[in-house]
Structure 1
């Protein structure tokens, strides 16, 4: 009798689970829906020896690090927790110029440990005397894009794109693609003053 009672209880328990009609399998991990703002730009034209266009949904913040110099700043994207760090350096000699170019290369290739590839693109706007190299860094790295701009005689600007998130390319890729278009506008609109 106890066997039949146990058997009937087991059958009833199974039937009650089936009759609920709910699937209790675990759901796959998902990501938040990202709403992108409409692209529009404004011009940065302060006391630094350069100007550029940046998005209206971004903010210019002075660099607050201890070793920051004048005209070091961040183009901050609060909605995406990202920033383009900009640093300016006056070029005083050919030796300083060569050191700055080499530093930019070293800082970009520092990511080779995690990068799946690093591509270099030439920036060349002779009508505005804006020259440089754009580094596209692929993979789960801290910075996905870095560049430097120079007039090849007196001025040098270096930039790097960072997000305040763990570097998981599959989760930040849509935001990265969106912000890289803003970075392209930054570079294409860049002018030296004077």
Structure 2
């Protein structure tokens, strides 16, 4: 019986010493680390009356676009599950600049039911004859960034950035800021043909 008595005492001692005062606190919720690629750009060749630069990690395509509008293009960011929709219109009697800019405003403000804020700011690059507005839409909206560009006489280009997932601004904010820098490069490198 001696060995059983000693093993019972040893088990009791281990049980008491193993229940020390540990500090167990809940860990904060974390998000996956996002590794952003190095920024480098290339010029897009196309048959449209405009040209600009896009990042090397994006693709330029027109699949699924209406054939009546051959200069409606998409810029895909596959690593970020995002797409920038571009719509080009020549300014004419049927599509006046006033109508087109009002359409851009309407599209941006359609998000006002979910938006916490919609900030507008002017775009002006006189050396390339590029003028327009950008809309930064706060909150959990389908599109958080939209813009239009024009030379005020012949050309009009509208862009809207969408993520292919349920909108959660706190989750996409770092990616949104990263892609907005690429859109700024597109805007500043835009030239009308």
After TM superposition, is the score higher than 0.5?
yes
- The answer for unaligned runs of 5 or more in structure 2 is 1-11
Contact 1:59 1:75 in 2 (8 A): yes
Q: Distance in 2 between matches of 1:58 and 1:166?
A: 21
Larger radius of gyration: 2
Alpha carbons of structure 1 residues 122 and 50: separation in structure 2 relative to 1, 3 Å: same
Q: Distance in 1 between matches of 2:138 and 2:98?
A: 26
Alpha carbons of structure 1 residues 94 and 69: separation in structure 2 relative to 1, 3 Å: closer
Q: Distance in 2 between matches of 1:21 and 1:45?
A: 67
Alpha carbons of structure 1 residues 111 and 68: separation in structure 2 relative to 1, 3 Å: farther
3-state DSSP of counterpart to 1:46: coil
Pairs aligned (count): 180
Contact 1:130 1:150 in 2 (8 A): yes
For 1:165, the equivalent position in structure 2 comes to 165
For 2:89, the equivalent position in structure 1 comes to 89
Alpha carbons of structure 1 residues 45 and 20: separation in structure 2 relative to 1, 3 Å: farther
**TM-score, normalization by structure 1:** 0.84
Contact 1:82 1:163 in 2 (8 A): yes
For 2:52, the equivalent position in structure 1 comes to 52
- Alignment RMSD, CA only? 2.4
- The answer for unaligned runs of 5 or more in structure 1 is 1-11
**TM-score, normalization by structure 2:** 0.84
